[in-house]
Amino acid sequence: MRVKPIVLVSSYPPRLCGIATFTEEAREFIQKAHPHREVLVISHFDGAGDGVFPLIDISKPDWWKPVAAKVQELDPYVVHLEHEYGLYEHRDARGLGDNNEGFLKLLEAISNYPIVVEPHTVHGRLKDHEATFLRRLCERADIVLLKCHYQRWRLDWNFSGYGWETPRNLMVVPHGSRPDRRWGPEDVHKLKRRLGLIEAGLADHVVGMIGWIQSNKRWDILISMWEDVRREIIARCGVEWDLLAAGTIRDEAHLKDYQEWKRETLLLEDKGIAHYYEFIPRGDLYYKLMAVCDFVVIPSIDETQSGTLARVIALNKPFITTAPLEGLTAQALESEGGLLFTTKAMLRDKIIRLACDEKLRLELGDNLKRYLENVVSWEVVAKQYSEAYRLADEAKRTGRRVEMDPEF
């Protein structure tokens, strides 16, 4: 008897896209949790690999039709769709978007199969078009997966403001983190040598900013104050620290900031107090560059959740990030593994404090270890996906909508 596959619909590598990288990791652990089923992917035209069908071409208004036809052909156990607005927005010759209408039509076309949708952007305060889209999405999906608990109770506040009933088919499943990419202190020196950082003169202690370089990440905040911060760290605790800024650009819209921040980091490198490392944030290299940092700064100003933070958590690295800011703040509070700032002065003080307090770094790292193992490990998340699949399948077989208890 044929065992039906799990079908993921998403962007996929080699596309340089955070959702693509997310889906690649998620697929690996979903497959481990379901060894008896194939886990297949329907992707955009620039996706590739075994079991990947590159069919999505959003330059066409009916891009969803070949996707729906492929789903019917594959006859899956469940369809799990990763959603980000930009991935499915068709724009006409005038540049006007369709507000993801094609995505909703796809859900209608495959409605005979269990449907799980995982939206990656659900802001705490929704714009009108976002609220309308999410309402229609929840009507068409069997299960909708939110990344953070605040998104669920804020959705109730948002929907009540429109006079709408809050959907009950919502599950909270956090952004997964790898449980198998941790290096011990004895390995860090070896990693630095292999990465050429010893020869580059990187100090024994490192503050990191690692990942995609784009305008909303605001690397310039730390770069602009690093020389003064480093001087104060040495004055207070007598230990030399360097800044490691590692990443690259993925969107030409951010070219000006990328060039400026890279230039400023290289000026700090010339002074012997920082190092710039150009790389595409994917795969093991992403984790290795995180591993050589004592702690990581994520000065983002627009984020609902973060693949960068998922990797920080995977490596149990203490972090400092912006607040109040959606998923970054939520996970900092839930994990008790990070410090928060709202002003440049606070960021300066938190960096100095963390650099001069090894005991605090160890405490935050231990908290992240527990949070990883118990809450956000991909192995834990894959089990939650499996439960979502079971509920979606049951809903289709019985004709009864999934109803979960409200958050509060």
Mention every residue, 6+ apart, whose C-beta is less than 8 A from residue 317: 208, 290, 291, 293, 294, 295, 296, 365, 368
Domain borders along the chain are 6-176+378-398, 185-376
The reported pLDDT for the residue numbered 284 is 94
Q: Can 6-176+378-398 and 185-376 be said to share one CATH topology? A: yes
Distance of alpha carbon 401 from alpha carbon 394, whole angstroms: 9
Side chain identity, residue 88: Y
**Cα 195 to Cα 103, 184, 277, 280, 285, distances in angstroms:** 42, 16, 9, 14, 9
Reduced to 3 states (helix: H, G, I; strand: E, B; else coil), residue 339 is strand
pLDDT tens-digit profile of 268-299? 999 999 999 999 999 999 999 999 999 999 99
Q: Which CATH number fits domain 185-376: 3.10.20.30, 3.40.390.10, 3.40.50.2000, 3.40.190.290?
A: 3.40.50.2000
Is residue 93 within 8 A of residue 59, CB to CB? The reply is no
Please list the ranges in the chain whose pLDDT falls under 70.
Answer: 304-305
Please identify, in words, the CATH class of the domain defined by 6-176+378-398.
Answer: alpha beta
Token pair in block for residue 345: 């002065």
The reported pLDDT for the residue numbered 403 is 94
Tell how strand 274-278 and strand 241-248 pair up. parallel
The reported pLDDT for the residue numbered 305 is 60
DSSP per-residue letters across 208-271? EEEEE--GGG-HHHHHHHHHHHHHHHHHHH---EEEEEEEE---GGGHHHHHHHHHHHHHHHHT
Mention every residue, 6+ apart, whose C-beta is less than 8 A from residue 188: 291, 292
